[in-house]
Structure 1
């Protein structure tokens, strides 16, 4: 029985009981019961109903309340697990992938100075992973603020990392600090970073283009952001394949913010190069 219905039954049962007793007494029992006896029986009847029916309703209310509390705790635990998954994926997982890219580069490097430079980059990435682990443990339950995540710094650093891996990265970012809220900045940058990293992982691309701008054809405060590459493209079934957590998290982040999110194959031409995959995030419309 729904929680609210139980509360209404508890509230109305004594009132309905005394009203029903008075109706029966005056309609059927008045010739047999005196007024004093009827008045004396009224509280006894209400007490009897309260001890039986209302007591059971209170017990049912407690059970329903406990069930709702367990559901809230289960939901909170699920939210914590989702947050933990995002923390691990956005920080540690991405950093470890970049570390593997640098190790591959180190294996094929013959020049001593290049080896030293790559080793220095690896040490920097390892320190970054260590910092991510500490931050995830310390602030897993708190929402990161823009004092912790510098606006656009993470995307620019990602672009540098991908360029070191041989990918041509072009950034055309026309959104300013005042165009987005702190929450929007965090979520949009997380989506952009993940989309850029997916290009390095899966697209076999040579070129990556990131555009973000306010458009005249969308509502005030809206924006368009696209991440395009000239790789092998992607099919819809592949997006839902087991293990594709990145695409799923990007979509979840966009949906949670009320944004439109699209990802798929695009065979249009851009400067005579085929755009293999396009990820588009739009606010407004």
Structure 2
């Protein structure tokens, strides 16, 4: 029996019980049972039905709910593993491959300057792997920002972390108040922002990043929207670079945005660099 049918049976059985009892009482039992006695027996019958049939239906309903909850937990775990696998494949595995190539180059170095240059490249690659590992660990946490931090503090903390690890000047221009976004929206938006910033750090060769948040209140409706823009001055991006085989970052951001009913675009900026834009409805 399906979950939907169980709910309908639980709703209709007491009503049908009263209806059948009243029909039998008026059509067949009225000469034998007084009106007062019939009124007294009606809740007794409903109570007995609730103790027997409805009790078993509620037990089945609880079992179904527990089963659905277990399925949701398993699904969430698989999704988390898939996300981690994508990040490992796209970031760490490629960086380790580049590290092995540079070690081979170090073995073939002919002069001290070549050794020094290759050693510096290896150091940068190791730092890059370290950043990817930190990012993967952060994505495994239940929430992307600590509970003792406010929403704005989390954004500035993320910007400072990117600036510290990559040296890219990161500016925050945020004008969306915390109360205008639900907790779930903040969680998903910060995860998308983190992925976008990591992509800039890994691929864009940028010198500056601007994180901007704007809010537009609708005059004649409740469809107020927010707009989050991440703009860098790097080498730009092409359609082929975004969706080439083995690249998961943009796909993961789009999946998160689509799950929230938002639109996400990644395109070349007007003058130089790349612009990531998320537009969604606020609460």
Range into which the TM-score falls when normalised by the shorter chain: 0.5 to 0.7
Between structure 1 and structure 2, the one with the greater Rg is 1
Matches within 5 A, 1:1-285: 3=3, 6-7=6-7, 9-10=9-10, 13-31=13-31, 33-35=32-34, 49=49, 53-54=53-54, 57-58=57-58, 60-85=60-85, 88=88, 92-93=92-93, 95-96=95-96, 99=99, 102-103=102-103, 106=106, 110-116=110-116, 118-119=118-119, 122=122, 125-126=125-126, 129=129, 140-145=140-145, 151-154=159-162, 157-158=165-166, 173-175=170-172, 187-195=192-200, 197-198=202-203, 211-212=209-210, 214=212, 219=216, 222-227=227-232, 233-235=238-240, 239-240=242-243, 242-253=245-256, 255=258, 260-263=263-266, 279-283=274-278
TM-score, with length taken from structure 1:
0.58
CA contact (8 A) 1:222 1:282 kept: yes
Query: SS at 1:244's partner residue?
Result: coil
**Structure 1, unaligned stretches of length 5 or more?**
161-170, 200-206
TM-score, with length taken from structure 2:
0.58
Aligned-partner Cα distance in 1 for 2:232–2:206: 7
Residues 45 and 247 of structure 1: CA distance in aligned 2, closer, same or farther (over 3 Å):
closer
CA contact (8 A) 1:172 1:211 kept: yes
CA contact (8 A) 2:230 2:275 kept: yes
Query: SS at 2:231's partner residue?
Result: strand
Query: SS at 1:151's partner residue?
Result: helix
CA contact (8 A) 1:87 1:140 kept: no
Alignment match, 2:150: none
Deviation at 1:72, TM superposition (A): 1.8
CA contact (8 A) 2:172 2:211 kept: yes
Aligned-partner Cα distance in 1 for 2:123–2:39: 89
Residues 135 and 9 of structure 1: CA distance in aligned 2, closer, same or farther (over 3 Å):
same
Aligned-partner Cα distance in 2 for 1:190–1:78: 20
**Structure 2, unaligned stretches of length 5 or more?**
146-153, 179-185, 218-225
Deviation at 1:129, TM superposition (A): 4.2
CA contact (8 A) 1:233 1:265 kept: yes
Aligned-partner Cα distance in 1 for 2:190–2:50: 57
Aligned-partner Cα distance in 2 for 1:133–1:4: 44
Deviation at 1:83, TM superposition (A): 4.8
Aligned-partner Cα distance in 1 for 2:260–2:43: 57
